[in-house]
Chain A
Amino acid sequence: MRENRVFVIATWLAILLVGGLLISTAKFTANLSEFLPRSPSAQQAVLNEQLRQGVLSRQIMISIEGGDAAIRAKLSNDLVRKLQGNTAFLSINNGSSNGDTRIFHYIFSHRYLLSPTVNQTLFTVAGLHNAIANSIDLLATPGGEMAQSLFPNDPTGATVQMIQSMGSGTKPATRDGVWSARSGKSALILAQTQASGSATDAQQAAINEIQTAFAVAKSEAGSVATNTTLMMTGVGVISVASRDTIVHAAEWMSIISITLIIFLLLLIYRSGIVLILGLIPVFSGVIVGISAVALGFSVVYDITLGFGTALIGEAVDYSIYFFVQSGPSATSSEEWIRKYWPTIRLGVLTSIIGFASLLFSNLPGLAQLGLYAITGLLTAATVTRLVLPTLLPSNFKSRDLSNIGEQLLRLTRVLSTMRPGVVLLLMAASAVLISHRNKIWNYDLSALSPVPAAAQRLYTQMRADLGVSEGGYLVVVSAPTVNATLAAAEKADNALQKLVENHVIAGYESPARYLPSVTLQQERQAAIPPKDVLERRLHEALLGLPVKASLFTPFIKESEAQRTLSPLTLADLRGTGIGMLVNSMLVRHSNGWDAILPLKAPASGIVDTQRVRAGLARHHITGAMLIDLSDISNKLYKNYLINGIKLSLSGVVFIALLLLFALRSPMRVFRILLPLIAAVLTVSAGLVSLGYELNIMNLIGLMLIVAVGSNYALFFDQGDGQVHGEIAPRTLASLVIANIATIMGFGPLAFSGVPVLQAIGVTVAPGVFLALLFSASFSQHTTA
């Protein structure tokens, strides 16, 4: 017996030690992509990549508010100057004249390698004649002023054509020479971080750099700047903020829950030793749960930790059952194991079956919660069953709560007269849900976002002010090498150009526009004749045109230079603005490269995807994907929600089957499940009629109601220690205390400020209370 005890405790401690080690080496992360699919389709992979690593994720939008326009402009310029050389940022821009002209110079100095106007005919006598005549026509118009200064260097008009084909973007307003919000009340700056938006620590560092630079600029500006403030937003900023929010919420909620539960237990047990013993299973569960997640997944989401607080509320039930049900003396623990353990075991099993459905969810966030809950509960129950009895001191004494139980029992008898009321409530809840059937579920991904609505609004507002595109439609082509991918993008360009001409799309971007494939660059170079040939052709071409050949000396010289350049590669562009631009549209993945070509929707705002697909097919572009980003993420989430509903329903079915198998009485199963279903429907109806739309986390909450509530229902049902066919007073007392502890665990989440956690809190806390109430009213009783 003693050896056995040593073995149990040693094993338990060893597991905790290993768990602690696993947790200490685990990677924790908080970003929006945790509710993105784990085994995504090719399209979803692109979306994931964009959200995690893409250009979008690297943007920090900065707003300077307060003061007057002049001081905001000064601070904006100072901030940009301070951060310009900072390695944390790829670029920082406020629209002022400090910006650089490198992109223009890049295009200008490589125009005959980059311009689609360069082909076999452009440098022939006829080609040159036509191009120059055309440029002169352009000079004649007032708009030709732009072409005039370029004319001697580029009479072919390749540069002007390149600039024009880049189209127009939405442009921020300007005040005092710097970008400003449309309201005119803040100065705007756009920064690109070196780190991707999902590298939360690096994003945090970049944010700190901005804050420090602003503080310095502000103090340098003196008293006129005292009223100014700095605001920031962006995927990275939001990730950092939401990590902080979640971590803070998780910390606070844990502290509040634990404090409340400790007070409750102290009040009940009136013993420090019992309290500490009572918390042992919970903390064992938390440690094993987190380490299981760390082991099963490469990273632990912070949201999983937040959920951990809720688990405390449920896992503490087992030790409450143990202490309250087993009564005042140490020797009674064996009796408890004999009398009550089977019921608890069944309760644990139903909970695990409920959570197991989450494991099959392809949202990694939910799968983590499932694994955490299963291992946590299993550990807490096992520790209660095996470790707790061995830890009891030989002179152990705990309070007998029979008296409280007796009083509660009288209350239960009253409750059971209200059975028809519960049935009525069930019907009313069903009616509410049926009448709101189209408004029950929220299919919007943002419902899950840990980002407060105000932060989301700021993000949307600043994006609009800065004219940062929302993603929209993308064409994606892939190939094993950079060069082949660029060649594929060039093929797609031709198809897209046709679509622009037919007004199916308003425009598109392509990495090949700034970096054509080596093959195409060489083709273009081959079209440029050697210097002497070009001079001869130019002379001939100028016949009948009002211009002397001597004007074009720069053109002859630069054509020769570009003819003999070695073709540009991605490596040549490293660290330049053009390189960033190309990299943002050229993404490396395990099997090669993706070229991402964003489409610009026509004035209607809608891209006819069928015509785009047909256009791509006509040009024999196979393997090109057309992606609607805004649609895909919402569709994705909707699928997960529907999938989640199916999984939860199958969880409930499996719970029913398990109970049927264990109890072998359909009537008893029905009596156990009915109060739980009533609780689930009542809570749903309550939330829906308050105008709250349920999201996937509410669904988890509903399942938790069944998982936790089944324990109560089982105790009410079990004939084990029932006196006169009634539940034993001590058992009833333990259920009520466990119920209060659970509410204390989940309730605070409702006030956490993190939507995902809130959803669980508002669902579970009232749900488990109703589950107990309804289970009590359905319990067997002697006629009162």
Chain B
Amino acid sequence: MTISEVLRQLRDTRVTSRSSAPSPTTAPGRIFFHLGAAILLVLLSLSTALTATAQASEWNIDHLMQSLSHAKPGRARFVEKKSLTMLENPIESSGRLLFIAPDILEMHTLKPKNEVMRIQGDVLTIDHQDIPLEDHPELQAFIDSIRGTLTGNRQMLERYFRLSLDGSKGNWTLTMLPRQKKLADLIQHILVSGSNDTVTGIETLKTNRDRSLITIIQSPTP
């Protein structure tokens, strides 16, 4: 048994809970799924946020998607407010977002802890630790969704989510509902809201009632 093997086991195990397990949620595989899913959710929303440059006169999903296909580098600041059921009060983090076409997305948290998360192609990196997404087929949904959003590929996005657009052009909300059971077990819905071509917020509600609200403050592209 080598060290790397242990690490591999730690990372690769996606075993569901056993009777001997201290807690069903502590199996490392689940942790990584949660982790990966959460990160990708954020990135998915970001990809929408950063590439949204609405050009269409008529406001519908197709036009939103079309405008997304003209991806260009984007920067923004974010503030995330998490309401976790296990905590009394919401907790907050903030930092910078970066998108570099075609496939680099980075979320750099500055407060309360410095943490860099990055997806480049098929590799997710958290604080310089690679988590190759190809090893986690269940996370592939998110990747495809992100790609779908970045490239304005509505079909790809709709393979995993049911989409619906509400509101007016000046105050719209894109609702994303998971189609597949694996995702639906985890996420209740994702709401991306915006005004014209600017995404202002992403709200995620998980099935365990944990809620996250990301507010995005667009900064001009340098």
Interface set of A (CB-CB < 8 Å, partner B): 55, 59, 90-91, 93, 95-97, 99-101, 103-105, 108-109, 136-143, 145-146, 148-153, 163, 166-175, 177, 190, 192, 467-469, 509, 546-548, 551, 554, 558, 577, 580-581, 584, 598
Instruction: Of the listed stretches B8-16, B49-57, B154-162, name the one at the interface; the rest are far from the partner chain.
Output: B8-16
Closest 5 CB pairs of A and B: A169-B4, A149-B25, A546-B89, A580-B1, A137-B112
A581 close to B1 (CB less than 8 A): yes
Nearest to B90 among chain A residues (CB) is A546
**Complex Cα gap A99–B23 (Å):** 18
B27 touches A142 (CB 8 A): no
- Contact present for A141 and B113 (CB under 8 Å): yes
**Given the complex of chains A and B, what is the CA–CA distance between A169 and B129 in angstroms?**
10
* Cβ–Cβ contact B23 & A554, under 8 A: yes
List B contacts of A547 (CB < 8 A): 86-88
Q: Which of B29-37, B59-67, B192-200 contacts A (4 or more CB under 8 A)?
A: B29-37
Interface pair A101/B27, CB less than 8 Å apart: yes
Contact in complex: A168, B7 (CB < 8 Å): yes
Contacts of B38 in A (CB 8 A): 142, 145
Contact, CB under 8 Å: A153 / B23: yes
Contacts A103-B10, A140-B92, A141-B112 given; indicate if A146 touches B34 (C-beta within 8 A). Answer: yes
**Distance (Å) between the CB of B79 and the closest chain A CB?**
11
Q: Across the interface, which residues of B come within 8 angstroms of A546, CB to CB?
A: 87-89, 91
Cβ of B21 to closest chain A Cβ, rounded Å: 7
- Assess the A598–B3 pair: CB atoms within 8 A: yes
Residue of A nearest to B10 (CB): A104
Contacts of A59 in B (CB 8 A): 2
Cα A103 to Cα B6 with chains together (Å): 7
A93-B9, A142-B42, A173-B132 known; A468+B22 contact, CB < 8 A: no
B32 (CB) vs chain A CBs: closest residue: A146
- Given contacts A136-B87, A173-B132, are A142 and B109 in contact (CB under 8 A)? yes
Is B135 part of the binding interface, using a Cβ–Cβ cutoff of 8 Å?
A: yes
The answer to whether B2 and A99 touch across the interface, beta carbons within 8 angstroms, is: no
**Contact, CB under 8 Å: A141 / B35:** no
| Residue from the list B1, B9, B28, B134 in contact with A55, Cβ < 8 A | B1
Q: Known: A95-B12, A104-B28, A177-B137. Is A558-B22 also a contact (CB below 8 A)?
A: yes
CA–CA, A60 to B129, complex, Å? Answer: 28
Q: Are A97 and B3 in contact (CB under 8 A)?
A: no
Q: Are A149 and B34 in contact (CB under 8 A)?
A: yes
Are A153 and B7 in contact (CB-based, < 8 A)? no
Q: Is B171 an interface residue (CB 8 A)?
A: no
Query: Are B21 and A136 in contact, with the CB atoms below 8 A?
Result: no
Q: Which residue of B lies closest to A170 (CB)?
A: B4
Number of interface residues of B (CB under 8 A): 58
Instruction: Say whether A140 contacts B5, CB under 8 Å.
Output: no
Apart from A151-B86, A168-B7, A554-B23, what 15 extra A-B contacts exist at CB < 8 Å? A90-B1, A100-B13, A100-B15, A140-B80, A140-B91, A141-B112, A150-B26, A166-B6, A168-B130, A177-B137, A468-B4, A546-B88, A546-B91, A548-B88, A581-B6
A162 → chain B closest CB, angstroms: 10
CA distance A551 to B87 in the complex (A): 9
Q: List 14 A-B contacts (CB under 8 A).
A: A101-B9, A142-B107, A142-B109, A142-B115, A143-B117, A146-B35, A149-B26, A173-B132, A174-B135, A177-B137, A192-B1, A546-B87, A546-B89, A577-B1
Rounded to whole Å, the gap between the CB of B141 and the closest CB of chain A is: 16
- Per the bound structure, the CA–CA distance linking A467 and B13 in Å amounts to 18
Interface residues of B (CB under 8 A from A): 1-15, 18, 20-23, 25-32, 34-35, 37-39, 42, 80, 82, 84, 86-89, 91-93, 107, 109, 112-113, 115, 117, 126-127, 129-130, 132, 134-135, 137
Chain A contacts of B126 at CB under 8 A? 143
Asked if B35 contacts A584 (CB within 8 A), the reply is: no
Chain A contacts of B15 at CB under 8 A? 97, 99-101
Complex: A469 Cα to B92 Cα, angstroms: 41
C-alpha spacing A274/B200, complex, angstroms = 104
When distances are taken between beta carbons in the complex, the residues of chain B under 8 Å from A175 are 134
**A177 to B109 CA separation, bound complex (whole angstroms):** 32
Known: A139-B87, A149-B26, A509-B3. A104 touches B13 (CB 8 A): yes
The answer for the CA separation of A163 and B115 in the assembled complex, in Å, is 17
Q: Which residues of chain B are near A169, meaning CB under 8 Å? A: 2-5, 7-8
B211 to chain A: closest CB distance in Å? 13
Among B13, B39, B137, point to the contact of A101 (Cβ < 8 A): B13
Among B25, B37, B127: residue with most chain A CB under 10 A:
B25
Q: Which residues of A contact B22 (CB under 8 A)?
A: 105, 108-109, 153, 554, 558
Among candidates A96, A104, A109, A168, residue contacting B27 with C-beta atoms closer than 8 Å: A104
A469 near B4 (CB under 8 angstroms)? yes
In Å, the complex CA distance between A100 and B14 comes to 9
Contact A141 to B115, CB < 8 A, known contacts A163-B10, A166-B7, A581-B3: yes
Q: Contacts of B93 on A, CB cut-off 8 Å?
A: 140-142
- Measured CB to CB, the closest approach of chain B to A284, in angstroms, equals 50
A469–B89 Cα distance when bound, in Å, is 46
Given A104-B10, A104-B28, does the pair A139, B91 have CB atoms closer than 8 Å?
yes
Which A residues are CB-close (under 8 A) to B23? Answer: 149, 152-153, 554
CB-CB nearest in chain B for A583:
B1
Residues of B within 8 A of A104 (CB): 9-10, 13, 26-28
Q: Given the complex of chains A and B, what is the CA–CA distance between A547 and B28 in angstroms?
A: 24
A496 to chain B, nearest CB (A): 14
Question: Which residues of B sit under 8 angstroms from A101, Cβ to Cβ?
Answer: 9, 13, 15, 18, 21, 27-29
Residues of B within 8 A of A172 (CB): 8
Question: Are B30 and A149 in contact (CB-based, < 8 A)?
Answer: yes
A568 and B131 alpha carbons, distance in the complex (Å)? 32
Give the chain A neighbours of B30 by CB distance below 8 A: 149
Give the residue among B23, B30, B37 with the most A Cβ atoms within 10 A. B23
Which residue from A141, A142, A166 sits with its C-beta under 8 Å from B3? A166
Q: Give B105 Cβ to nearest chain A Cβ, in Å.
A: 12
CB neighbours of A581 from chain B (8 A): 1-3, 6
Q: Cα distance A90–B130 when bound, in Å?
A: 28
Contacts of A100 in B (CB 8 A): 9, 13, 15
Give the residues in chain B near A136, CB-CB below 8 Å: 87, 91
Q: Which residues of A contact B26 (CB under 8 A)?
A: 104, 108, 149-150, 153
Cβ contacts under 8 Å, B132 to chain A:
171, 173-174
Q: Collect the chain A residues with CB atoms within 8 Å of residue B34's CB.
A: 145-146, 148-149
C-alpha gap A612/B14 in the complex (Å): 38
In the complex the two chains form, what is the Cα distance from A150 to B34 in whole Å?
A: 12
Chain A hits for B80, CB < 8 A: 140, 142
Is B10 touching A166 in the complex (CB atoms < 8 A)? Answer: yes
- Residues in B with CB closer than 8 Å to A170 are 4
CB within 8 A of B8: which of A93, A137, A146?
Answer: A93
Of the candidates A105, A145, A190, the one whose C-beta lies within 8 Å of that of B5 is: A190
Most buried by A among B39, B86, B129: B86
Do residues B115 and A143 form an inter-chain contact, with CB atoms below 8 A?
yes
Given the interface pairs A153-B26, A168-B129, the reply to whether A137 lies near B4 with Cβ below 8 Å is no
User: B9 contacts A577, CB within 8 Å?
Assistant: yes
Q: Which one, B8, B31, B87, contacts A171 given CB within 8 A?
A: B8
Contact A93 B42 (CB under 8 A): no
- B26 CB, nearest partner CB in chain A, Å: 6
- Chain B nearest CB: distance from A206 CB in Å? 16
